[in-house]
Amino acid sequence: MPQVVAQRFPPPQFTETSHLLPVPTEPAVRALWLDYLDIGVLIAALVLVSWLVLRRRSRSGVVGVGIFSVLYFGFWRKGCICSIGSIQNLSQALFDSSFGVPLTVLAFGLVPLLFALFFGRTFCAAVCPHGALQDLVLLKPVKVPNWLDHSLRMLAWIYLGLAVVFAATGGGYIICQYDPFVPIFRLSGSLTMVLFGVSLLVVGIFVGRPYCRFLCPYGVLLGVAASVSKWRVRITPDTCTQCRLCEESCAFGAINKSAVDAPSQPRATDKRRLILLLVLLPVLIAGGIGLGGLAGGTLAGKHRIVNLAERLQLEESGAVQDTTDASAAFRAGNNSIETLYADARALHHRYVVAARWCGAWIGLVIGLKLLSLAIVRRRTDYEADQAHCLSCARCYRSCPQELQRLGLPVPETPKPANG
């Protein structure tokens, strides 16, 4: 809700008393202690969820914190400050030394990553309001086929690259612009984004956290950090009986299956496939660089300065006869058109270079995904995937060993696969 703020300078005195001054609508500056409060709540919630998941092993506790996060970080704070969107602030600061990052944004961007390095994705479990909201609506989970799951997860990596490119080049914050849940938290926003958010929640009744798994760029970074975490979700407290009940309970496809009895390919076949993919990797990167260079010019045209320079060039050459509001305003301001052209050329170059890096990134990601799928890991137990596990604690109560440890009734389970 826009708030009236105080005037920094006294308004001019008009001889015509019927003139009404416009009312400022910028939001009032928050007190600094409220920013510190947000950081404190974030850290406290991360500590609590990490304890609930890794020590207490409590699914009900995770749900409780998730409800609090939706109410506090979601509806009360209206989706801001957002860890997901902080990627853009940090990217712009890395490429623009004059750009400053507020302490709150810095904390929300880095603290969850720090926790992921040690405790896995406990931020995703219940602290992130986007994830917590989707987790609360998941009622009838269905399995997404593995081939589709792997394919859709690539979108988040691509989205991350595009977000960094747009933020670093001053092209805008596309994560915030296309955030599907902030309009719901704020109870306002474009109809398109509101419908997008509602659609994701409807899909989320059946598909576990579609935004978190397939679109969230911050989840990509959390997954990388969590892949090396020292403390992580362990489904079975003692010995895995190969009952596969944890696999059925996971709504996010984050259980690595036991491969003890999986048929193995001849070693020569595995070696040839690995060599082929290693040769293909630089080809994919080079192709990404080439396509990125072509796309960079198109992306640059979306920037207001480049767009204005292109329009003025058309008008100066006589290719178009009419003028736009932007070009007319530029000429009325007695600005230097040579300076505008120079700025546009510099921006165009930055976009092309950034898009090439983004293309290389996408090619690298695709190549590494193919390599990861080609490498067969021999596991003896069913384990939570450190990178993809959202620490929701659903799998604990499906494990007979866990139920036995808690003194709860243990249902009859199918015989192990090697039984």
Q: Are residues 293 and 224 in the same domain?
A: no
Cα angle 143, 149, 153; round to 5: 140
pLDDT number for residue 294: 86
Q: Are residues 284 and 142 in the same domain?
A: no
Q: Which residue has the higher pLDDT, 189 or 66?
A: 66
Place of tokens 């909201």: 133
- The reply to whether 171 falls in a domain is yes
Q: Which of 334, 352, 374 is the last residue of a domain?
A: 374
Q: Are residues 215 and 316 in the same domain?
A: no
Counted domains in the chain: 2
Q: Are residues 44 and 132 in the same domain?
A: yes
Q: Are residues 286 and 169 in the same domain?
A: no
Q: Classify strands 255-256 and 383-384 as parallel, antiparallel or unpaired.
A: antiparallel
Q: In the predicted model, what is the mean pLDDT of the chain?
A: 85
Amino acid at 244: R
- The reply to whether 223 falls in a domain is yes
- The reply to whether 17 falls in a domain is no
- The reply to whether 323 falls in a domain is yes
Would you state the structure tokens that stand for residue 145, as one six-digit string?
A: 């086929």
Q: Are residues 195 and 72 in the same domain?
A: yes
Tell the burial category of 348 from Cβ atoms under 10 Å away from its Cβ (0-12, 13-18, 19+).
Answer: buried
Quick: pLDDT tens for 5-55: 455 555 566 555 566 666 655 556 677 888 899 999 999 999 999 999 999
Q: Are residues 89 and 134 in the same domain?
A: yes
Q: Are residues 219 and 304 in the same domain?
A: no
Quick: pLDDT tens for 348-394: 888 888 889 889 988 998 888 888 777 766 777 778 888 999 999 88
- The reply to whether 328 falls in a domain is yes
- The reply to whether 47 falls in a domain is yes
Alpha helices per DSSP H over 179-240? 182-186, 191-203, 210-214, 217-226
Rounded to the nearest 10 degrees, the angle between the axes of helix 32-51 and helix 59-69 is: 160
Cα angle 191, 167, 71; round to 5: 50
Domain housing 288: 267-374
Q: Are residues 271 and 227 in the same domain?
A: no
Distance linking the first and last C-alpha atoms of the chain: 63
Q: Are residues 89 and 165 in the same domain?
A: yes
| DSSP at 255 | E
Band (153; pLDDT cuts 50, 70, 90): very high
8 A C-beta contact, residue 235 and residue 250: no
Q: Are residues 74 and 222 in the same domain?
A: yes
Cα angle 181, 60, 383; round to 5: 85
- The reply to whether 243 falls in a domain is no
What's the pTM? Answer: 0.80
- The reply to whether 300 falls in a domain is yes
Q: Are residues 362 and 291 in the same domain?
A: yes
Residues facing 259 on adjacent strands: none
